[in-house]
Amino acid sequence: MKIISKVMIKQIPWFFGMMAISIFTACSYLGEPLEDLAIQNRMVDQGDYIILQHASVNPTIGFVFYPGGLVDPHVYLCWMDELISRNHEIMVFSLKIPGNLSIFKNQHGASIPKDYPKIRHWLTGGHSLGGVSAAAMANRNPAPFSNVVFLGSWVTENYTLNQPQYRVLSISGSRDGLSTREKIDENEAFSPPRFIVTDPTIQSGQINNVTEFYEIPGGNHSGFGCYGLQNGDNEADISVSEQQELMLTAILTFIETLQP
């Protein structure tokens, strides 16, 4: 037992060393203060998720969104508010997960549809690591989550979506330094067959078994939220608002043709 105690005491510097490394690497990206966004009356924080909803309409489309890894969920409110403003039928559920790491709770959004029976259409999606979690949830819950939106993300081998019931919108940025085109292409086989879109207003015309892939020219990884430039990402050739305008157009086009 003395040996065990000595070994444990020797581990103390390692313990604090690992702690220091983790502290250095585990900082979440934070966006703009809410008062700058002026959306307080359209959002409600439910503890497990943030709801964005246009007050005047009963929504019929639910969008369950997984934030990127180590990214505060509020950094996406800048474009989510615009999304519900352009289509009042949409209700967004931006998930909140301890430590901002959705891999700890990738089925977090699965129970939401039970609480909102009036919503007829559901889609899920995520940014970066959040997209992987969204795929994991869609993989286990194809009904109702057969529509999936990836922002700088892809499907992994463990949670494939290459079955006929899925319809996927994959949006990437040509300047993305983290979710590069090479990585997305390597995992193409785990999604439905790809249909490349060069204009965000164009769609495949299929209601399932398709991955509509749209690469934003000059867009980067960080431009899918409002939090500055992420470590390892490239500088974008277009502004964040330009990137998000193209992204929103693609998402709204995708939503227009949701399976009835």
Q: How far apart are CA 244 and CA 87, in angstroms?
A: 16
- Per-residue contact track with another protein, 167 to 206, x per CB under 8 A? ----------------------------------------
Residue 159 DSSP code: G
Work out which of 34, 57, 189, 196 binds another protein, going by CB under 8 A.
Answer: 34
Q: How far apart are CA 17 and CA 244, in angstroms?
A: 40
Q: How far is the CB of 140 from another protein (least distance, A)?
A: 18
Q: How far is the CB of 17 from another protein (least distance, A)?
A: 11
Closest to another protein by CB, 26 vs 196, is 26
> What is the secondary structure of 226-251 as a DSSP string?
SS-PPTTPPPPSS-HHHHHHHHHHHH
79: contact with another protein by CB under 8 A = no
Region binding another protein by CB under 8 A among candidate stretches 12-20, 186-194, 199-207, 209-217: 12-20
Region binding another protein by CB under 8 A among candidate stretches 17-25, 139-147, 163-171, 188-196: 17-25
Closest to another protein by CB, 33 vs 260, is 33
Q: How far apart are CA 257 and CA 106, in angstroms?
A: 26
Please count the residues of this chain forming the interface with another protein, following the rule CB under 8 A. 40
Phi-psi domain of 216 (left: phi exceeds 0; alpha: psi -120 through 50; beta: other): beta
Give the strand pairing for 194-197 and 167-173.
unpaired
30: contact with another protein by CB under 8 A = yes
43: contact with another protein by CB under 8 A = yes
Residue 198 DSSP code: S
Work out which of 44, 57, 189, 196 binds another protein, going by CB under 8 A.
Answer: 44
The sheet with strand 121-127 has its strands ordered as 43-45, 49-53, 90-95, 61-66, 121-127, 147-151, 167-173, 210-216, 194-197
57: contact with another protein by CB under 8 A = no
29: contact with another protein by CB under 8 A = yes
User: Quick count: other Cβ atoms within 10 Å of Cβ 2?
Assistant: 6
Q: How far is the CB of 5 from another protein (least distance, A)?
A: 5
Work out which of 3, 10, 12, 198 binds another protein, going by CB under 8 A.
Answer: 12
> Is it true that the peptide bond before 217 is cis, omega within 30 degrees of 0?
no
Are 117 and 75 in contact, with CB atoms under 8 Å apart? no
Contacting residues toward another protein, per CB under 8 A: 1-2, 4-5, 8-9, 12, 15-16, 19, 22-23, 26-35, 40, 43-48, 50, 70, 72, 74, 96, 98-101, 105, 228
